[in-house]
Amino acid sequence: MSKAFTRETDSDDDDDLALPPLPAGTRNYITAQGYQRLRDELLMLIDVERPKVVDIVHWAASNGDRSENGDYLYGKKRLREIDRRIRFLTKRLEIAEVTDPSLHHGSDQVFFGATVTYEDEQGTQRTVTILGIDEADSAQSQVSWVSPVARALLKSREGDVVKLITPSGPVDIEVLQVRYPAPATAQP
């Protein structure tokens, strides 16, 4: 089939960027640093990336035949991707609830923002930091507060044994240590 008979969709359908599920009646918790990262990305897309791509598309369109103009076709596709990401980030920032984990500094109970060391039944120790859906990075031992391990750990205390539901069945894990970032000191 020739390219002339295919069409990429220009719809505003964001199904491929569906928001990760939040428990009913809850907010999208996020740290101040995570919120700032999302906001910086949004502003960079709006102020830098999008205008640059618009200029390229405008230049490519002025070159004539758009059907075989790679710069034009790629530019239009990239504009759709940027606009989709802008809509996604805008929605996420609108529902974000910025939370300061340092308020719990010194506490031994697990809340949002805690760094928790736990041990499973086999004696394997793991340390995870419980963060927001939009900021958790598993490569850095960060988990979303709606993940199964975070849900099992939330509201437990050091020394508690909680049940973690895994695909291979329930596992008991013991909370060994709970830490929070230190509160920022006020500048005189």
pLDDT 10s digits, 37-55? 999 999 999 999 999 999 9
pLDDT, residue 106, reads 84
Delimit the CATH 1.10.287.180 region(s) of the chain. 26-98
Is the pLDDT confidence value at 22 over 90? Answer: no
Is the pLDDT confidence value at 15 over 50? Answer: no
The CATH classification number of 26-98 equals 1.10.287.180
Q: CB atoms < 10 A from the CB of 16, how many?
A: 6
Delimit the CATH 3.10.50.30 region(s) of the chain. 101-179
The CATH classification number of 101-179 equals 3.10.50.30
Neighbour-count burial of 147, counting CB atoms closer than 10 A to its CB (0-12 exposed, 13-18 middle, 19+ buried) = middle
pLDDT category at 12 given cuts 50, 70, 90 is very low
Cα distances from 178 to residues 105, 154, 169, in angstroms, run 9, 11, 25
